Amino acid sequence: MLKHSPALLALIISCPVIAMAEVPDAERQAQLLYLLKHDCGSCHGMTRKGGLGPALLPENLSDFPPEFLVTTILDGRPGTPMPPWRGELSEADARWLVEALNRGEGL
């Protein structure tokens, strides 16, 4: 038990840190919603009802774990036109976008 405790301790400390990890500020959130509407929107539709890419309404996403969606945004879907947005978007950005999509924010 003692042997594992540093790892456990690290986990206990890091978990809340990840959970609270920089939530994009209001300005960044507005930028992300703009990106979602106009750039993601060119394939997924500005109203997120889909296009060349699938629909991104809350009911379309409810079957997918948030982690999967975050990974899809950051790393793309090889073999499809979905590009990796890593570099342009941080992990926190992608996480916030997934939450926004699931809430149907900005619709």
Partner 1 sequence: MRLPEKGKGVGKGVRSLFHNPQGKSHWDVEKKGSDPFSFALSFLLLVFFCSFYGTANAECLMRGTGDLGIVIERASGSVQVVDTTARSSLFRIEGLGDLSHASAVFSRDARYAYIFGRDGGLSKIDLLCGSLVKRVLQAGNSIGGAISQDGTLVAVSNYTPGGVKIFDAQTLAQVVELPAVDEAGRSSKVVGLVDAPGQRFVYTLYDAGEIRSVDMHEPGKPQVQRFRDVGSLPYDALITPDGRYYIAGLFGEDGLALLDLWQPQEGVRRILDNYGKGEDKLPVYKMPHLEGWAVAGRQAFLPAVGRHEVLVVDSDSWKEAGRIAVHGQPVFVVAQPDGRQVWVNFAHPLNDTVQVIDTRSLQVIHTFKPGKGVLHMEFTPRGEAVWISVRDADAVQVYDTTSFRQLAELPAEKPSGIFFTSRAHRTGL
Q: Amino acid identity of 91?
A: E
Indicate which single residue of 11, 12, 67, 83 sits in contact with partner 1 (rule: CB under 8 A). 83
Q: Does 50 bind partner 1 (CB under 8 A)?
A: yes
Q: Does 39 bind partner 1 (CB under 8 A)?
A: yes
Q: What is the DSSP string of 41-95?
A: HHHH-TTSS-SSSPP-SHHHHTTS-HHHHHHHHHH--TTSS----BTTB-HHHHH
Indicate which single residue of 42, 64, 67, 103 sits in contact with partner 1 (rule: CB under 8 A). 42
Q: Give the shortest CB-84-to-partner 1 separation in angstroms.
A: 5
> Phi then psi for 86, rounded to 5 degrees?
-60, 140
Q: Amino acid identity of 77?
A: R
Give the binding-site size for partner 1 (rule: CB under 8 A).
Answer: 21
> Any idea what DSSP says for residue 105?
T
> Phi then psi for 63, rounded to 5 degrees?
-80, -15
Stretch that binds partner 1, among 1-9, 22-30, 74-82, 90-98 (CB under 8 A): 74-82
Q: Give whichever of 6 and 78 is closer to partner 1, judged by the CB atom.
A: 78
Judged by the rule CB under 8 A, the positions of this chain that interact with partner 1 are 37-39, 41-43, 45-47, 49-52, 76, 79-81, 83-85, 88
